[in-house]
Amino acid sequence: MKRAGISAKVTSDEALQAAARVAADLRSRGITVCFDDATGERLGEDAFCYRKPELGDHSDFLITFGGDGTLLSVARHAPDHVPIIGVNMGTLGFLTEIRVEEFDEVLQRVLDGSFTAESRVAFDILVRGPKRDGTTYRVLNDAAINKSALARIVEMRVEVSGLFVSTFRADGLIVATPTGSTAYNLSAGGPIIYPTMNAVVITPICPHMLTNRPLVLPDTFDIEVSIVTQEAEVFLTLDGQEGVEISHEDRVCVRKSPQTVLLVQSPQKNYFDVLRTKLKWGES
């Protein structure tokens, strides 16, 4: 571990201060530190700064200071061999489960090579259509199709591995990874899926028909969603970070990515500890 990449929530002074402190500590150990452009600018760093999609390519491991959004902005682009330490600077996150108080211990474990990490499934998203350039997006949480604020209910046709499933009339549709099952999917009434399961969940948002329920499938199935409704403003949102306007001429294609995301685990809590804390479940 000779190169560390650091990204912080730039609107949080606490996160920036923690990033600066850790960068100084790593440099004192002879480790090269690089930052994403926004973090580097806020810290006055002018060397070894990269765009977020490129930060993992220049790092042996990554550290994020902030919340789940900060981690997502880096993790969804990171190579699958690069471990990511997500440090939560506020309330406990589903992804950023490492508290500031335990960070030093976790960092030492990573530097010693004695850490535990989980490999999380990611999805590749391709929008096909006459005006599309073939760009593929990667998501760790979800791809969500939403109508605009003034749009009517959107009608969407869903196919799985070339087989017609149904036409959903709803405010939108979420295709989520197991990791993303506790994000937008959960808010829309979808199920919680253990994060290392090989599954994908399709969840309609406020469906017109009450019989339209979330659907859990093997993640080996390719999913294709086409917009039936014409002349409606519809957007595809990727991990809540990036938005693409789509139309009835487009098809949103979702498939399991060959790349995964490697998240360093806290030695002091497990997934069910996180669920109990975040969802305020009762203690035993």
Please confirm, yes or no, whether 68 is among the known catalytic residues.
yes
Angle, helices 13-28/100-112, rounded to nearest 10 degrees: 30
What gap in Å lies between CA 233 and CA 147, rounded to an integer? 6
Residue 125 backbone zone (phi > 0: left; psi -120 to 50: alpha; other: beta)? beta
CA pair distance 181, 169, nearest whole angstrom? 21
Q: In sequence order, what are the residues at sequence separation of 6 or more whose Cβ sits closer than 8 angstroms to the Cβ of residue 256?
A: 121, 122, 123, 124, 200, 219, 220
CA-only gyration radius of the chain, Å:
20
Please, are residues 60 and 3 in contact by the beta-carbon 8 Å criterion? yes
* Annotated catalytic residue within 37, 46, 57, 68: 68
Q: Which residue has the tokens 């789940």?
A: 68
- Active-site residues, by number, are 68
